[in-house]
Structure 1
Amino acid sequence: MDNINALILFVSLILLFCIAFSRFLTKAGIPVLVFFILAGMIMGSDGIGGIYFDNAAVASTIGNFAICYILFAGGMATSWKSAREVLVPGVLLSTVGVIITAVLVGVAAYLLVGLTWLQGLLLGAVVSCTDAASVFSILRSNNLNLKAPLAPLLELESSSNDPTAYMLTIAIIGLMTAPDSSFFSFVTLFVMQFVIGGVLGLAFGFAGAWVMNRIRLNSDGLYPVVAATLAALIYSAVQVMQGNGFLGIYIAGMVMGNMKLVYKSSLVRFFDGFSWLMQILVFVTLGLLVFPSQLPSVWLPALTISAMLMFIIRPAAVFLTLLPFKYTKKAQLLVSWVGLRGASSIVFASYALTYALPNGDVIFNMVFFISLTSVIIQGSLLAPMASLLDQLDHEDKTLVSRSFTDYEEELQGGLYELSVTKGSSAVGMAVEELKFPESVRIMLIRRGSGTVTPTGKTQVKEGDMLMVTANNTDVLLALKERLGFA
């Protein structure tokens, strides 16, 4: 028991130090999540912690679980209004762009590193997706306001390209473990998973919103729990039905995030924080899985692929994909540079260890090295690159907060105050007993020097100030007359 307590103390101190040090990292343009990978390596068997962990299957499971919630949170925080303006180029970057990247990396790995064709393509598949968490943490921490429509384009691409990379990875592993598989079966599986995942994601998203808006709970704190349970249910249901669970959960999150939901702001804030917890969990786990003593043997081939990915392959994929659209060369160069690799790539690389593939350890270590160099080099130079390419908007100071994870409550109509005075018939009634019309919503109750977030069971008291939204004042006048509000 003492050993367990000592271990918990050690891990807690390391994580707290990482969080405290994050301020200095973000100023340098390096995502704090990189520090959590290093923390995992420090706590691992080659570090001072001495925690021996080599179970790739457990790491993959933890990674899949974490990515599920990261994608759901990303979907909820994505504005459909902004996303639809860049829908076609964004979707093409997250599908065609990912495939082009995977193929080009595969060719480079075959010619320069000495991997087989399938091993090279597997390496390409796992590093073909960009890491949304790294991208947006850098943009937000440096308060970089990109010129429209770059912000929503990068948001949509980095948030939605994991499903394509995942499918490519699984398909190539299938070809490696079952050589008799045909290319036609691979294409059929690819299309089927995307269609089923997309359709079920839409259906479950609407169903999830319906459940959230109609369930009546006694505690406000249970609503995030219900939403988190729904997210797990949606992901697993899509997987069981042979769809792409990552695509399904992202679309479901986007549907729910763009609909009216009870306690929507609280839910989005909860999942923003919860996704951070998931990212920390997966980065520390992957750090534990890495044996730093093995990295020197792959540094040269990994650095070669990483450099080609930054300066040749990613730009080629972006320019080819965006060719039909009217983006300037400078804008395309910035999109090319904002192609950071991160947690998803390392999680997908762990599959090579899970399936005990030939050169699986080499591929995993190379991906780990590529991801670190990508985040450190591209991340630290992102702000200077955006300035050099003249892609910063110096007039609009709200682009970052409006385009990424921040969320403002959707208010229908105006915001008004209703005072519960002495003699009002509302005194002592529960909120659900007030029978407000659908067009009127109580957002907050000011009570004394504090505030109350109302539920249907919240009891109205004399002196309360109800903060409500309404489409027109006629409805409010009728309520004042009926319930005696001031």
Structure 2
Amino acid sequence: MTGINALFLLTGLLLFISVLASTISARLGLPLLLLFLGVGMLAGEDGPGGIVFEDFFIASLIGQAALSVILLDGGLRTKVSSFRVALKPAAVLATWGVIGTAGLLGLFATWILDVDWRLGMLLAAIVGSTDAAAVFALLRNSGVRLNERVQATLEIESGANDPMAILLVTALVGMLLQPETASVGGFVWMLTSQLGLGAILGLAGGWVLSRLMARLSLPDGLYALLILSGGTLVFAATNLLDGSGFLAVYLAGVVVGNRRSHATEHVLRVMDGLAWLAQAGMFVVLGLLVTPSKMLDYATEAFAMAVFLTLVARPVAVAIGLAPFRYPRNELLYVSWVGLRGAVPVTLAIVPVVMGVPDSQLLFNVAFAVVLLSLLVQGATVPLAARWLGVEVPPRDEPRDKREVWVSEAAAVDMLEFCVEAGAKAEGRHPDELGSDHPGHDVRCVALVREGGLHRLTPDTRLRPGDSVWMIAPDEISERLARSFAGSRGELTANASFFGEFVVDPGSRASDLADAYGLRIEEAERALGMGELLAVRLGRPPVVGDRVEIGAFVLTVREMGDKGRITALGLKCPPLGGGR
């Protein structure tokens, strides 16, 4: 019992320190995942902890289990609408992107490490795919709001590229250990089964889980366990049938997350904590597994490979793969830069060690070093690169909090909390008067919190700065409603600067606006609506933040509906002096 309790004590202590370390992550500008790795390395063989952990099988088991939880949570938070703008390009990056990156990097690795070409290609295949854990964590917690096309491309790619990476690693391990059994037909069949079974079983499993969640009546805490256990079943069953369990569990999460029910909010809250636990546990274990002194033996080669991967192999593969989709140059550069490596490459690097591939320790140490450099350099610059390359859009005017109150199995009302700022449009008005600003929608105040206490609403009640207001209102107007509570500075100024001074109805005729403002448009464009004009000139599915120049004017997508329809445009006029 002493040994078991000591193990529990050690596990709890490492996770406890990892969570406390997260409080300094933002101050240091370091990715949180890197801090988890650091805790594991400090506790490991070369650190003050002195713990010797060399069980690659256990580490692989923990890594795969954690990745399944992280991918499930990522799928739950992925909106189907993001597939509208990024499914095809992300699918290209998840297949060709991995092959192209691995091919170029493999040639470089073979040369710089002076090894057999198959070993060089195997190392490149290990680090050739982006990592879902790193991408989901860093993009969603970086503090920046990326335009939907860029964020969706990176997230869908990272959630779907594991089958190709696993295929390449498995095939190259087979070529090294049993070259006589390798065949092109075997590779094609493996890829087909990985992608096909992963997609079919993931979608089917997600449909079953979403139906169960909507129909079963369980204690609130059990819904998340239902989805977690169901996702684990989908993951394991797909793997047993030679499909991609990672792809399957991600798609199952997408289906469940987009078929909202009375239990969805409970599931998301619990899964968020479980995903963080999985990330912390996985990266601490991987940190324990590595021996920094051995990794330093290949520091020069690993640094050269990381530079080549980041500045040559990944950008070339991205540029070729996304060429048909007309991504702007700044978006191509950002997608290339945020090709984050993390737990997946390290987990794949364990495979050759377990399989007994010659020089597999070399592969593991170099791959781990590349991951560290990726998290340290690329991960730490996610917000900076977004601002520098102009793929960031201003933060939404959002409620401070949002709750769903389900009144039946199929119907819910949205409760939104807003804080009244000084100079806001809502200041000095009765809360229920705000509904008149949104005709056609039922908007009512259900609670007013003033000076920390619940304030009784009367006909004479007027809103003051600092009041917290809970409103029943449809979520679709939450952004517009939030503007009524925002002051005359801060986010509204940023929005006006980015989107333009005027809000334009996308259904208005281009000819009317052209005549009113002196816009120069083609004769064939005069009959189009303004939204249609922008979409035609873009030549790709629009997202919030997309813009086109019409002479000295700039037309920007300000709001989008759920089905990819532009609902508001911003018009930015040239300065009075005529300059830009």
How does the TM-score come out when normalised to structure 1? Answer: 0.79
Q: Report how far residue 54 of structure 1 moved.
A: 0.8
Asked whether the equivalents of residues 405 and 413 of structure 2 are also in contact (C-alpha less than 8 Å), the reply is no
The Cα offsets for residues 6-25 of structure 1, whole Å up to 9 and x where unpaired, read as 56445544433332232332
C-alpha distance in 1 between matches for 2:66 and 2:286: 12
Correspondence for 2:248:
248
Q: Report how far residue 3 of structure 1 moved.
A: 6.2
C-alpha distance in 2 between matches for 1:283 and 1:47: 16
Q: Report how far residue 357 of structure 1 moved.
A: 0.8
Q: Report how far residue 211 of structure 1 moved.
A: 2.4
Which SS does the other structure have where 2:220 is aligned?
coil
Asked whether the equivalents of residues 342 and 375 of structure 1 are also in contact (C-alpha less than 8 Å), the reply is yes
C-alpha distance in 2 between matches for 1:135 and 1:161: 12
Correspondence for 1:222:
222
C-alpha distance in 2 between matches for 1:204 and 1:324: 33
Call closer, same or farther: CA 1:398–1:62 in 2, change over 3 Å. farther
Correspondence for 1:476:
none
In our comparison, the structure showing a higher alpha carbon Rg is 2
Asked whether the equivalents of residues 338 and 382 of structure 1 are also in contact (C-alpha less than 8 Å), the reply is yes
The Cα offsets for residues 336-361 of structure 1, whole Å up to 9 and x where unpaired, read as 11111101111111112111211100
Call closer, same or farther: CA 1:64–1:133 in 2, change over 3 Å. closer
Call closer, same or farther: CA 1:79–1:341 in 2, change over 3 Å. same
Asked whether the equivalents of residues 345 and 371 of structure 2 are also in contact (C-alpha less than 8 Å), the reply is yes
The Cα offsets for residues 355-401 of structure 1, whole Å up to 9 and x where unpaired, read as 121110010000110000111011222222222222221x34369x9
C-alpha distance in 1 between matches for 2:238 and 2:274: 22
Q: Report how far residue 5 of structure 1 moved.
A: 4.6
* Residues 194-273 of structure 1 aligned to structure 2 (within 5 Å): 194-217=195-218, 219-273=219-273
Correspondence for 2:19:
19
Whose strand proportion is higher, 1 or 2?
A: 2
Asked whether the equivalents of residues 29 and 138 of structure 1 are also in contact (C-alpha less than 8 Å), the reply is no
1:176 aligns with 2:156: no
Which SS does the other structure have where 2:189 is aligned?
helix
Whose helix proportion is higher, 1 or 2?
A: 1
Correspondence for 2:573:
none
Structure 1, 318-327 or 243-252: larger mean CA deviation: 243-252
Call closer, same or farther: CA 1:183–1:366 in 2, change over 3 Å. same
Asked whether the equivalents of residues 404 and 414 of structure 2 are also in contact (C-alpha less than 8 Å), the reply is no
Call closer, same or farther: CA 1:91–1:72 in 2, change over 3 Å. same
* Residues 145-164 of structure 1 aligned to structure 2 (within 5 Å): 145-164=145-164
C-alpha distance in 1 between matches for 2:243 and 2:138: 32
* Residues 39-438 of structure 1 aligned to structure 2 (within 5 Å): 39-180=39-180, 181-217=182-218, 219-393=219-393, 395-397=394-396, 415=413
Correspondence for 1:435:
none
C-alpha distance in 1 between matches for 2:148 and 2:205: 32
Q: Which amino acid is 1:151 matched to? A: Q
C-alpha distance in 2 between matches for 1:263 and 1:366: 44
Q: List gaps (5 residues or longer) in structure 1.
A: 418-445, 451-466, 470-486
C-alpha distance in 1 between matches for 2:7 and 2:265: 36
Q: Which amino acid is 2:124 matched to? A: G
C-alpha distance in 2 between matches for 1:410 and 1:133: 31
Asked whether the equivalents of residues 56 and 354 of structure 1 are also in contact (C-alpha less than 8 Å), the reply is yes
Quote the RMSD (CA, aligned, Å): 2.9
The Cα offsets for residues 26-66 of structure 1, whole Å up to 9 and x where unpaired, read as 34442111111121122222222222211111111111111
Q: Which amino acid is 2:283 matched to? A: F
C-alpha distance in 2 between matches for 1:324 and 1:39: 43
Asked whether the equivalents of residues 345 and 371 of structure 1 are also in contact (C-alpha less than 8 Å), the reply is yes
Asked whether the equivalents of residues 145 and 398 of structure 1 are also in contact (C-alpha less than 8 Å), the reply is no
Asked whether the equivalents of residues 71 and 133 of structure 2 are also in contact (C-alpha less than 8 Å), the reply is no
Q: Report how far residue 4 of structure 1 moved.
A: 5.5
Q: Report how far residue 214 of structure 1 moved.
A: 2.8
* Residues 440-459 of structure 1 aligned to structure 2 (within 5 Å): none
C-alpha distance in 2 between matches for 1:359 and 1:269: 44
Q: Which amino acid is 1:184 matched to? A: G
Asked whether the equivalents of residues 139 and 151 of structure 2 are also in contact (C-alpha less than 8 Å), the reply is no
Which SS does the other structure have where 1:242 is aligned?
coil
Q: Report how far residue 407 of structure 1 moved.
A: 9.7
C-alpha distance in 2 between matches for 1:80 and 1:160: 15
Call closer, same or farther: CA 1:274–1:362 in 2, change over 3 Å. same
Which SS does the other structure have where 2:179 is aligned?
coil
Structure 1, 137-146 or 202-211: larger mean CA deviation: 137-146
Asked whether the equivalents of residues 340 and 375 of structure 1 are also in contact (C-alpha less than 8 Å), the reply is yes
Identity %: 36
Q: Report how far residue 138 of structure 1 moved.
A: 3.3
Q: Report how far residue 235 of structure 1 moved.
A: 1.0
Structure 1, 336-345 or 178-187: larger mean CA deviation: 178-187
Which SS does the other structure have where 2:413 is aligned?
strand
The Cα offsets for residues 251-291 of structure 1, whole Å up to 9 and x where unpaired, read as 11111111133410111222221111111111111111111
Asked whether the equivalents of residues 129 and 162 of structure 1 are also in contact (C-alpha less than 8 Å), the reply is yes
Structure 1, 91-100 or 165-174: larger mean CA deviation: 165-174
Q: Report how far residue 243 of structure 1 moved.
A: 1.4
Q: Report how far residue 115 of structure 1 moved.
A: 2.3
Which SS does the other structure have where 1:415 is aligned?
strand
Correspondence for 1:461:
none
Q: Which amino acid is 2:86 matched to? A: V
1:31 aligns with 2:42: no
C-alpha distance in 2 between matches for 1:75 and 1:10: 32
Higher relative contact order (CA 8 A, sep 6+): 1
Q: Which amino acid is 1:190 matched to? A: L
Q: List gaps (5 residues or longer) in structure 2.
A: 416-446, 448-452, 455-471, 475-580
